[in-house]
Chain A
Amino acid sequence: MFRRRTTLFFVFCILALTLVPLTVSFVGAQDDNVDVYGRPLPEDAAPYEMQTWQNLCNSARTETTLASAVSVYQRICDQNAFDKFGDSLVQLDENLNLTPAAAESWESSEDGLTWTFHLRAGQMWNDGTPLTANDYVATYRYMAEPDHAYDFVWMWNGIIAGWDEAVAGEISTDEIGVAAPDDLTFTVTTAVPFPPLPGTMYFWPPLQAAALEEFGPDYMLDPETSVSSGPFQLVEFVPGDHILLEANPDYTGYRQPYLRQISGIYGDQLNASFLAFQNGDIDAVNYSLLSPADLDIIEADPIMSENYLPNFSDFRTDYLLFDTFNPPFDNVDVRLAFAKALDREAIVANVIGSNLALPAYSFLMPGFPAADTEGELHDIQGYDCDAAKELLAGAGYADGEGFPAVELALRGETESIANRFIASAASISECLNVEITVNNMEYNAYMDALRARPTTIQFGAVSYGMDFLDPANMLGVWVSTGRHSWRNAEFDDLVNEANSLVGDPEARLQMYRDAERILVEDVGGVFLNHRIQGDLIQPYVAGECFRPDAQGVSAIHWGNDWCWGTYYITEEVLNHDTYRTE
């Protein structure tokens, strides 16, 4: 008995001496793979040294800032690099619902004129100073500054109280309707009730008031002066050469990143992105950088096709526009003839690809608030060549006789986008027997011509995607003060009234639907397709970001800033040749 117990005792000791160190080393190994905040990475994550994300930036464009509040059109590299040094007040979830970001809650006053945003407590700049509402005040005031001449200044025209006057230099920017009653409270006072105001707060991570005052808006371009209250901080930046961000260890916000580093290298972004992706040198490619040939390759590859994630992104619509103030397009029958001569279904099926677009019969894409989901507007501009010919004949151009040759101007489009418009011209030309040439103009020259009054774009093609998720934004581009040479007073009245209608969301949406019907019936534009956008991701990029939305779609959805707190690189990367292992 004694010998048996002794034997058992020694066996127990041997097991303990063997298993305990193994357990400790296993646990220790788990603890070793932690991020900069000391959190263990997900179980399938690659070592922390490999938690990097690399982009290919465009070396041919104007790039002057890393902050949308300084410039939207001149941001450095792409959305995977800029705006990482602070958190906007709000962001979107995968179902495009507005969710808290730097602000944990917000509400409006009863009259709808004052919005109050409550900042999360404890947010800090990485120089040790607290992020306060005053930083947001300074940022919005800077955007209204006349000398700044902000390129997105239209965003709050007629919305934030005093905005227009401050931009014109008639009042000081101190007098615009933004304030910080205390460090954690940011208020916005509007000139008129504007229900979608919280959504317009999405784009603008704050600038630090102190740095802005001391160093000016370029403070974030130099690691010596750059400060961050966001998930990343600037380490290196050589314009046109490379940019390097690292996880901000002092970040106390809502999206602490697993990623250690984001980098950008410069090259031929437009033509070489897919090649760089295949070479393992970048981690994602947006659909806009993929040619039709690239998409064919992706479709044929089982791994890449599984990792190409389609999404609606900014609900972008491609359409044709007219100079409706001058002949021949001052005649609505001519415009409607063009609309009904456009076989958009055939173009989507055969030119664009059914996985890349939906035929469009109206401006708002299905899924967008107030969009025509029932198809009630389909027949208005729907393809009907015979009806198109009748309309053109009724306008005095039977069988195209006497109709002037027109040029379809494109806005510096890439091959894949230009092809759909060329096909549109061919469809109309063939049906109506009219001569249409196509001219792919340089972007700035096109916009200059479009905005000129009178416009020099008689017949053009363009696209538009949302800036915030509300019909006020999308339909607002069609009001008579906008970029189009089309005017409809009833449309303007409906949109302007709906923009400031509070207390009855359904009535508001119905007004936008009525406005869109006018747009379609009066043929302010001929709507071709709604884009299905997408991102091609490396198979070793993972994260909660890719959880399915309410429609079961897994994608990088527009406005989902929280994703940067979830991305990580899996162990799968060890089976691939990437820049990490070079």
Chain B
Amino acid sequence: MLRPYDRKPYGIQLLMTGYILQRLVSLFFVLLIVSAIVFVLMNLVPGGPFTLGERGYSEVELANLNRKYGLDVPVPQRYVNFLIGAVQLDFGNSFSVAGRPPVTELIARVWPTTLHLGLYTIIVSFGLGIPMGVVAAYYRNSWIDNFVTFTATLGLTVPNFIIATWLLLVFGFQNGWGAESKWIIPPLFGQGPALLSWDYFLPVLTYALAPLGLVARYTRASVSDALSADYVRTARSKGLSERFIMVRHVMRNALIPMVTVLLPQVPNLLTGSLFIEVVYGVPGLGKFFITSIFNRDYPMIMGLVLLIAAFWGLTYLVTDILYTLIDPRVRVFGRRNA
């Protein structure tokens, strides 16, 4: 039961603001700890941003190489230098990309393509997965349910490199990314990647299958649970329409577990996939999460790690806030209800 205090909108807003600030402060410390751990691990891994080459280098030549990449400075000092730069959003220059662009500039250049890809993947996987899950739950144990479950399981279990290989065999090798002949919706303001092009067809199809399966299965489970609740039986006995029951009662109650599981898919999808981007030649951000490690691109590694950590932290914050909007009984801040 809601207390009179809790009804005051001003009070709730104040608590919400305080909660968000508290979470942002703790996120800052999380980023600090993550950066320290990754920085240490990164420097413990053998090898460096330069190939040692077939003939190797003398001490002098190695010293030149280390100086070139800023590796002649002791690790603790390098970490301090990194932190000073990071608070100014300066993560240094990439070691592995032609022109050695600043990490922030490189991310800004390649991320839009990955964001496009991720966005379309979310639209397909959530846009299809949620209705599939709802229908499967409503008609559970029918052939519809079986079909949806089968499809979802297939999407989850068949590795996407198998799917990609098959699609490439069927549709042929995708010649170059971003060719104007493949545009469907041109770039905004005439610059940058196309808003939509045929280039996205195969990557989205491949990328969306697994999250589609996940969304469909979790939606089905959540909605099934809600459908078997007493309040649904009560609502039906009161003569409410099925549509009203599904929308106002079932979906709203099913959303909390769905949000818990499915919302964290968003940062995954919006930061791309190495495999998808390499196989389909997507000039995006996703491949850098892996290639920067193999190439020992230290500035890029740190930039990406902080990016993904911040993204995840904010996603969980948004998740918690959504809980309170979906179910007013839930308070993630202040005093709990009795």
Question: How many Å from the CB of B187 to the closest CB on chain A?
Answer: 14
Q: Provided the pairs A152-B53, A266-B281, A449-B46 are in contact, do residues A63 and B168 lie with their beta carbons within 8 angstroms?
A: no
Of the stretches B292-300, B307-315, B322-330, the one at the interface is B292-300
Q: Is B78 an interface residue (CB 8 A)?
A: no
- A579 CA / B181 CA spacing, docked (Å): 12
Q: How far is the CB of B113 from chain A (nearest CB, A)?
A: 9
A198-234 vs B: 1/0 string, CB under 8 Å? 0000000000000000000010011000000000000
Query: What are the residues of chain B within 8 A of A169 when measuring CB–CB?
Result: 60
How far is the CB of B114 from the nearest CB of chain A, in Å? 12
> For chain B residues 153-197, which have a beta carbon within 8 Å of chain A?
168-169, 172-178, 181
Chain B residues in 8 Å Cβ range of A146: 64
A151→B51 CA distance, assembly (Å): 8
Interface residue from B52, B58, B281, B290 paired with A157 (Cβ < 8 Å): B58
Chain B contacts for A221, CB-based, 8 A:
98-99
Q: Mark B45-68, 1 if CB is under 8 A from A, else 0.
A: 111111111111110110011011
Chain B residues lying within 8 Å of A582, measured Cβ to Cβ, are 175, 181
Is A154 in the interface zone, CB < 8 Å from B?
yes
Q: Do B97 and A239 touch across chains, with their CB atoms under 8 A apart?
A: yes
CB of A242 within 8 Å of the partner chain: yes
Contact of B60 among A63, A168, A237 (CB under 8 A): A168
Residues of B within 8 A of A74 (CB): 51, 96
| In the assembled complex, A448 has its CB within 8 A of some CB on chain B | yes
* Nearest CB in chain A: distance from B182 CB, A: 10
Q: Given A62-B297, A279-B173, does the pair A151, B98 have CB atoms closer than 8 Å?
A: no
CB proximity of B9 to chain A, nearest CB, Å: 50
- Encode A113-156 as 1/0 by CB contact (under 8 A) with B: 00000000000000000000000000000000011110111100
Q: Find out whether the CB atom of A445 lies under 8 angstroms from the CB atom of B46.
A: yes
Is B95 located at the chain interface by the 8 A CB criterion?
Answer: yes
B111 at the interface (CB under 8 A from A): no
A59-78 residues with Cβ-Cβ distance < 8 A to B are 59-65, 72-74, 76
For A505, list chain B residues within 8 Å (CB): none
Chain A residue at minimal CB-CB distance from B181: A582
Contacts of A153 in B (CB 8 A): 57, 61
For A152, what are the chain B residues with a Cβ–Cβ distance below 8 Å? 53
| Most chain A beta-carbon neighbours within 10 Å: one of B51, B100, B274, B297 | B51
Q: Determine the chain A residues whose CB is within 8 A of the CB of B145 once the complex forms.
A: none
Known: A62-B295, A73-B51, A242-B176. A267 touches B279 (CB 8 A): yes
Least CB distance, A574 to chain B, in whole angstroms? 18
On whether the beta carbons of A477 and B53 are closer than 8 Å, the reply is no
Q: Which of A181-189, A268-276, A365-373 contacts B (4 or more CB under 8 A)?
A: A268-276
Is B51 within 8 A of A265, CB to CB?
A: no
Question: Does any Cβ of B come within 8 Å of A167's Cβ?
Answer: yes
Given contacts A62-B295, A65-B98, A167-B64, contact A241 B177 (CB under 8 A): yes
Q: For chains A and B in complex, what number of residue pairs have CB atoms within 8 angstroms?
A: 158
Chain B residues, Cβ within 8 Å of A241: 177-178, 283
**Residue of A whose beta carbon sits closest to that of B110:** A240
B100 x A64 contact (CB < 8 A): yes
Q: Check A442 against B47 for contact (C-beta < 8 Å).
A: yes
Q: A149-B64, A154-B56 are in contact. Are A60 and B278 (CB under 8 A)?
A: yes
Tell me, rounded to whole Å, the shortest Cβ–Cβ distance linking A464 to chain B.
6
With a 10 A CB-CB cut-off, give which of A266, A445, A482 has the most chain B CB atoms.
A266
Contacts of A275 in B (CB 8 A): 168-169, 173
A238 touching B64 in the complex, CB below 8 Å, given contacts A63-B97, A442-B294, A482-B56: no
Question: Is A483 an interface residue, CB under 8 A from the partner?
Answer: yes
Q: Is the C-beta of B43 less than 8 angstroms from some C-beta in chain A?
A: no
Which residues of B64-79 have CB atoms within 8 Å of chain A's CB atoms? 64-65, 67-68
Name the residue on B nearest A63 (C-beta): B98
- B56 and A483 contacting across the interface, CB-CB below 8 Å: yes
In the bound complex, residues from chain B placing their C-beta under 8 Å from that of A154 are 53, 55-58, 61
Is A34 part of the contact surface with B, judged by Cβ < 8 Å?
no
Could you tell me if A149 and B65 are in contact, using CB atoms closer than 8 angstroms?
A: yes
Q: Is B287 an interface residue (CB 8 A)?
A: yes
Which A residues are CB-close (under 8 A) to B97?
Answer: 62-64, 239-240
Residues in B with CB closer than 8 Å to A482 are 55-56
Size of the chain B interface, CB-CB below 8 angstroms: 51
User: How long is the Cα–Cα vector from A152 to B55 in the complex, in angstroms?
Assistant: 8
Cβ 8 A contact of B281, one of A62, A239, A265, A271: A265
The 0/1 profile, CB within 8 Å of B marked 1, for residues 452-486 of chain A is 00000000000010000000000001000011000
Bound Cα distance from A239 to B95, whole angstroms: 13
A477 to B268, CA, bound (A): 46
Contacts of B64 in A (CB 8 A): 146-149, 167
Task: Name the contact of A448 in the complex, choosing from B47, B60, B173 (C-beta under 8 A).
Answer: B47
Bound CA–CA A157/B65 (angstroms): 16
- Taking the complex as formed, is B316 at the interface, i.e. its CB lies under 8 A from any CB of chain A? no
| Bound Cα distance from A62 to B274, whole angstroms | 15
Least CB distance from A314 to B in Å reads 11
Residues in B with CB closer than 8 Å to A167 are 60-61, 64
CA of A152 to CA of B57 in the docked complex: distance in angstroms?
9
With A167-B61, A447-B51, A464-B54 as contacts: A579 and B175 at CB distance below 8 Å: yes
Contact, CB under 8 Å: A266 / B61: no
Q: Which residues of A contact B54 (CB under 8 A)?
A: 464, 477, 483
**How many angstroms from the CA of A211 to the CA of B37 in the assembled complex?**
42
A444-B48 in contact (CB<8A) = yes
Q: A64-B96, A267-B278, A444-B46 are in contact. Are A151 and B67 (CB under 8 A)?
A: no
A343 within 8 A of B: no
| Shortest Cβ gap from B203 to chain A (Å) | 12
Contact, CB under 8 Å: A477 / B287: no
Contacts of A242 in B (CB 8 A): 176-178
25 A-B residue pairs with Cβ-Cβ distance under 8 Å, sorted by A, are: A59-B281, A59-B283, A61-B291, A62-B97, A64-B100, A146-B64, A147-B68, A152-B53, A167-B60, A167-B61, A168-B60, A221-B99, A239-B99, A240-B283, A242-B177, A265-B281, A267-B279, A268-B281, A272-B279, A279-B173, A281-B173, A442-B294, A444-B52, A445-B47, A447-B52
11 more CB-based (< 8 A) A-B contacts, given A276-B173, A444-B52: A63-B98, A148-B68, A149-B61, A151-B65, A167-B64, A239-B98, A266-B281, A267-B280, A268-B279, A445-B47, A482-B56
